[in-house]
Amino acid sequence: MRFARLWGMSDAAGPTGGPADVPAAAGATPAPAADPRRRRRILLLAGLALAVVVVDLVTKIIVVRTLTPGVSPRILGGLVYFSLLRNPGAAFSMATGMTWVLSLVVVAVIVFILRMARRLRSTAWAVCLGLVLGGAVGNLIDRIFRAPGFLRGHVVDFISVFGPDARYFPAFNVADSAITVGGIALVVTALFVTDIDGRPVRGGRTRGGSDPVAGRREGVDG
């Protein structure tokens, strides 16, 4: 009998000799598994951003080494000119007297995008954010490492349309183009295509209503 009691106590003990494991309470929510979609979208965002940075950096190095200020080769019958220009302002030569402020704004945008990436499950959002992030980083590199100094560096612009030396339209670079295309596409995507977590939108709001909990409750009641 005593042997049986000891055997029963052994069975009641947990695998480490402590109290027996308590089963999970009914209805308890299991820990969420890692979402492979989110990882793929983050890799897409990072890869696209890196590609934009590399292309932007390489084109600027080539332009600085090969172009002479005042000499603007043209292509496409004069539609596009390559002019070496230094821009202390934002994209398309805006806000030229606020270089260091713009640098801090760019840093804030980069941090914001990186925080948003934790919720990313949409391919469209990954592409848009990747373009914006790559363009922001590309121009920030100029702000940090080019003259006249840290966070005050002038961005290299070289694409001038309709005329040389930004005569008819502000000059820009690859980073500016990525920011513009990504920003416009992001607005269209957010309004008419999908939310950042991959839920499609319709009529300016996420399908299923603005309150998913209420939508589930209505389905149960029905």
CB atoms within 10 A of CB 70: 9
Strand ranges across the sheet with 74-75: 74-75, 80-87, 155-161
Strands of 69-182, DSSP E: 74-75, 80-87, 155-161
Q: Which residues pair with 13 in a beta bridge?
A: 19
- Nearest 5°: phi and psi at 122? -115, 130
Amino acid in the structure at residue 6: L
> Is 197 considered catalytic here?
no
CB 84 within 8 A of CB 158: yes
Which of 176, 195, 197, 221 is catalytic? The answer is 176
Catalytic residue among 56, 142, 157, 195: 157
Element housing 201 (H / E): strand 201-202
195 is catalytic: no
Which residues are designated catalytic? Answer: 157, 176
